[in-house]
Amino acid sequence: MRYFTMLSLLAVALLSSACGGYANSVESDIQMPSSNGPNPQNLPNPNAVPKPTPPGGYTVSPTPVVIQEILVDPLGPNAGAQFVELFNSSNSPVDIGGWMVTDGHNSHTFAYGFQLAAGECVVLHIGAAGVDSNTDQFVPSFGELQAQGSMVLLRNSTELVDFVEWGAANQNYEGTADQLAEWTAGDFVALPAEGLSFNYDGTANNSTAWLVANSTPGQ
């Protein structure tokens, strides 16, 4: 009887080990919640998570992919090195093929099948040429970002899922973003000093969630 019990315990241990590996693979496939409302799953408090990384367990955007950092600086030391950075705050890759980033004058659409890896960024290099990859996209035809403007992320090139405006209110797409509670009409991010970018901390859909910091594309 004791021998049989030991064999049973060994079988349970082996099964538990195998299930643990399977559980980890399943957890990596879980998608982010899409709700803008309360926190029903007791996920991490986004207000307690510091910049530069938005909260990994919850996002105020309807998708886990957000606009995270923008360098405008049209006249400063980084002139000609402008960029827009997107971040996937979930634990799973997100297919953003067909999604568009636009300021209302210029746009970039990701190729169909483009995957943004879990916890990773993709940087759009504005007005610059280069070799595209999963982390860097070059858009030489995208016009220079101005001291007053906006940037919007459109899912399937039509559905607004993230927005920010800077320098002044009433920029392109502000009305739509306000209707969808992705921004507040009349609100805007003050343009940072030369050489600095503005960075999203994941806590709100307004200018209070955008902080000035050193430029860190891809980080």
Task: For residue range 7-36, list pLDDT tens digits in order.
Answer: 343 343 433 333 333 233 333 343 333 444
Find the angle CA(128)-CA(157)-CA(159) to the nearest 5 degrees.
130
pLDDT at 43: 41
Quickly state the pLDDT bin for 151 (edges 50, 70, 90).
very high
- In this prediction, residues 138-164 reach a mean pLDDT of 93
Name the residue ranges covered by the structural domains of the chain: 51-214
* Helix H or strand E encompassing 175: helix 174-179
User: How far is residue 111's CA from residue 99's CA, in Å, rounded to a whole number?
Assistant: 8
- pLDDT, tens digit, for every residue of 83-113? 999 999 999 999 999 999 999 999 999 999 9
Domain 51-214 annotated CATH 2.60.40.1260: yes
- Measured over the CA atoms of residue 110, residue 111, residue 113 and residue 114, the dihedral's sign is negative
Quickly state the pLDDT bin for 215 (edges 50, 70, 90).
confident
User: Rounded to two decimals, what is the model's pTM?
Assistant: 0.71
- pLDDT, tens digit, for every residue of 22-80? 233 333 343 333 444 444 444 444 334 333 343 343 346 788 999 999 999 766 555 56
User: How far is residue 4's CA from residue 8's CA, in Å, rounded to a whole number?
Assistant: 6
pLDDT at 34: 44
User: How far is residue 144's CA from residue 166's CA, in Å, rounded to a whole number?
Assistant: 14
Who contacts 86 (Cβ-Cβ below 8 Å, separation ≥6)? 65, 66, 67, 68, 96, 101, 116, 121, 122, 124, 153
User: How far is residue 189's CA from residue 212's CA, in Å, rounded to a whole number?
Assistant: 10
Residue 105: helix, strand or coil by DSSP? coil
